[in-house]
Amino acid sequence: MRAIQRVEPTAWARLVLFVAVFVVFSWRDDRFFTTNNVFTIFEGFAFLGLAALAVGVTIIAGELDLSVGSAAAVAGIISVSLVDELGLVPTVIVAVLIGTAYGGVQGYLIYRLRIQSLVFTLGTLIGLRGLAFMISGENTVVMSDLSVAQSVRRQLWIFSPFSLVTVGCFVAVALLLVHTRFGREIYAVGGGRDEAAAAGVPLMRPLVLAFALSGAMAALTGALTSIKSGSAGPAAFETLLLPAATAALIGGVSLLGGRGSVFGIAIGALTLRFINSGLSLGGAPFYILTLATGVVLIVAVVIELLIGRPELRARWRRWRSEGGAGLRRRHQAAA
């Protein structure tokens, strides 16, 4: 549970933000807090949450996977082409296995070549997008049996099978990260790679695992979202990285690596969905959502900068405990 304790100082701020956004929107619009809208929010959460989890895990490992959008697009096209023959569950399993394998190989190569993951995943971001265009023949792929789509988006109170799968993934990844040795290793190599290596943590395993998780989650997002809508386009998910990274960061994942929790990522994804859902109910066009997401991301970065600068924090603490006089005394003593 130490991971949760470590993010404690900012957890309150995030919870306040979360509640404030929720209250503002449900007060401004009575449609906000209805079963149907909460269902819609959870659908959006399912879509965004998995992607945020994918990006978030690699950030915790001290890396960054830029390729989630392209991986999701490829997985979406594969699933939509296969689902008529294989049926729903086997298709999703195949897509996730492909995503896991792709992510694992990517993690291994990043470890092996000692290359910046930023650069490597930029290459795969472009390459997989090309692959998506190739295997789809540059056209939108459509499934013939739309009842399968219905079974993914069927409404069960405020959930759907899609959002239930997402919640399941969050619980599983949370247990993996907090309670297993493999998960702890991801935090260790993210927080201080040299220290972790000196302490005998193998570098390969956590990197492969983090990227494999990222590939699996991206593939699951792509597969379920595409099957839900009954079609998959090669240019889909192009802007997935922005909301995914934003959700992870407002969820308290630190860009310095080694800090963040799955619970925080869930809160982050829900907060961003609240904002988007509230704006959409107000009739805002898509680019206002992009604008809002960008502003939220900037605010998150600025807050992290303020929290991450120990000298600012220490000065603030001294001010609070001793008052201005104490600080002056300390300066005089130092002089």
Q: Which residues of the chain form contacts with other proteins (CB under 8 A)?
A: 64, 66, 109, 113-116, 118-120, 122-136, 138, 234, 241-242, 245-246, 249, 255, 285, 287-295, 297-298, 301-302, 304-305, 308-309
Instruction: Spell out the residues 6+ positions from residue 166 whose beta carbon is closer than 8 angstroms to its own.
Output: 45, 46, 49, 50
Q: Choose between 156 and 302: whose C-beta lies nearer to other proteins.
A: 302
Name the minimum Å distance from CB 69 to other proteins: 12
Q: Choose between 149 and 296: whose C-beta lies nearer to other proteins.
A: 296
Q: Choose between 89 and 113: whose C-beta lies nearer to other proteins.
A: 113
Q: Choose between 266 and 300: whose C-beta lies nearer to other proteins.
A: 300
Q: Choose between 134 and 146: whose C-beta lies nearer to other proteins.
A: 134
Query: Rounded to whole angstroms, how far apart are CA atoms 222 and 51?
Result: 9
Instruction: Spell out the residues 6+ positions from residue 256 whose beta carbon is closer than 8 angstroms to its own.
Output: 62, 308
Name the minimum Å distance from CB 132 to other proteins: 7
Radius of gyration in angstroms for the set of CA atoms belonging to the chain, rounded to a whole number? 21
Name the minimum Å distance from CB 241 to other proteins: 7
Name the minimum Å distance from CB 209 to other proteins: 22
Which tokens go with 234? 């090669």
Name the minimum Å distance from CB 291 to other proteins: 2
Query: Rounded to whole angstroms, how far apart are CA atoms 271 and 137?
Result: 37
Q: What is the 3-class SS of 194-223, one letter each residue? A: HHHHHCCCCCHHHHHHHHHHHHHHHHHHHH
